Amino acid sequence: MPRLRLDELDLHYLDAGPAGAPEVVLLLHAFPLHAAMWRPQIDALAGRYRVLAPDLRGFGGTPVGAGPSTMAGLAGDVRALLGHLGVANAAVVGLSMGGYVAFELLRQAPELVRALVLADTRAGADDPAGRAGREAFAESALTHGLGWVAEAMVPRLLREPAEPALAGLVRGLIGGGTPAGVAAAQRGMAQRPRVALDAGGDRVPDPGDRRRARSPHAARRGRADGRRDRRRAARAARRRGAPRQPRGARRLQSGAPRIPGGAAGRRRGVVRAARARRSDPPIVGLGAIVVTVDY
């Protein structure tokens, strides 16, 4: 497994596919796993694209650094990796914690992000209860070790009843980390800010407040879902005897299009990368799909 020497540690990463491929896919793994979770995707993509998948600090072959593994620090590691390899931009895929890192990478260096896929992640900051929960998890990981982490996380990562072979694979991936790395990641995630604005004032899509991504595929699906939901709500209201609302009022209350999330969203194949036009300014027009499942 190749590695890149950073200031205080060696960053391990997977590098597959043709080194001179014009298009690069960057895969950012979930908490508390490591880059090997992407093996099936790497095998599927490496015939056409160069595929990079780093082990974030404290997971897989990358040791934990000093202090919390902040999303800003992890994004900085990713920037160093892309610079070291001479990668001008990449289609970035972020899952769970990897999505938090992808948001930060987009904030720090939007020119590096050609397209974006966000899965099981969110752009909002933790509330006080969420931060307290992360600190409690960090303390338990340090006290009880990775066995406890696996017992706590496997039911959250896999639908019950999980296939024994798949559950064993996930436990093995969790075992590739360290208790200190798990704790540092939880404390780093607790510090992440709400997604920032770019210089032009356009927000990165925040699935937490339903401001959805701009992919035309997702937008069409979202509009159809929204119309269906509004028709159902209107029929239910009429059955209750509520007065019919004027059309203009319904439009004002309709809100942004909704992208289906969770298992239904995955079954319907909404996780797709949409290529950004290179002439677009940072973030504006960036192709992105957001699918959220909070855990």
Q: What is the pLDDT of residue 241?
A: 65
For residue 42, pLDDT over 70 is answered with: yes
Task: State the chain's mean pLDDT as an integer.
Answer: 77
Q: What is the pLDDT of residue 178?
A: 96
Rounded Cα distance, 246 and 295, in Å: 39
For residue 28, pLDDT over 70 is answered with: yes
Q: What is the pLDDT of residue 2?
A: 83
Q: What is the pLDDT of residue 177?
A: 94
| Mean pLDDT, range 1-19, rounded to an integer | 88
Q: For the chain, which residues make up each domain, given as ranges?
A: 3-126+193-213+259-291, 223-257
| Mean pLDDT, range 209-218, rounded to an integer | 44
- Output 267 or 36, whichever has higher pLDDT: 36
Number of residues that make up the chain: 295
Put simply, whether the predicted model's pTM sits higher than 0.85 gets the answer no
Q: What is the pLDDT of residue 180?
A: 97
Percent of the chain scored above 70 by pLDDT?
68
Rounded Cα distance, 257 and 3, in Å: 42
| Mean pLDDT, range 44-66, rounded to an integer | 95
Q: What is the pLDDT of residue 243?
A: 53
- For the domain with range 3-126+193-213+259-291, which CATH number is right: 3.30.70.3170, 1.10.1040.10, 3.40.50.1820, 3.40.640.10? 3.40.50.1820
Rounded Cα distance, 232 and 229, in Å: 5
Rounded Cα distance, 122 and 124, in Å: 6
Work out the pLDDT band at 224, boundaries 50, 70, 90.
Answer: low
For residue 278, pLDDT over 80 is answered with: no
Percent of the chain scored above 90 by pLDDT?
58
| Mean pLDDT, range 30-58, rounded to an integer | 96
HSE at residue 61, side-chain half, CA atoms within 13 A, is 14
For residue 24, pLDDT over 50 is answered with: yes
For residue 4, pLDDT over 50 is answered with: yes
| Mean pLDDT, range 114-118, rounded to an integer | 94
* 205 upstream amide cis, omega within 30 of 0: no
Q: What is the pLDDT of residue 295?
A: 34
| Mean pLDDT, range 85-92, rounded to an integer | 95
Q: What is the pLDDT of residue 162?
A: 86
Q: What is the pLDDT of residue 214?
A: 44
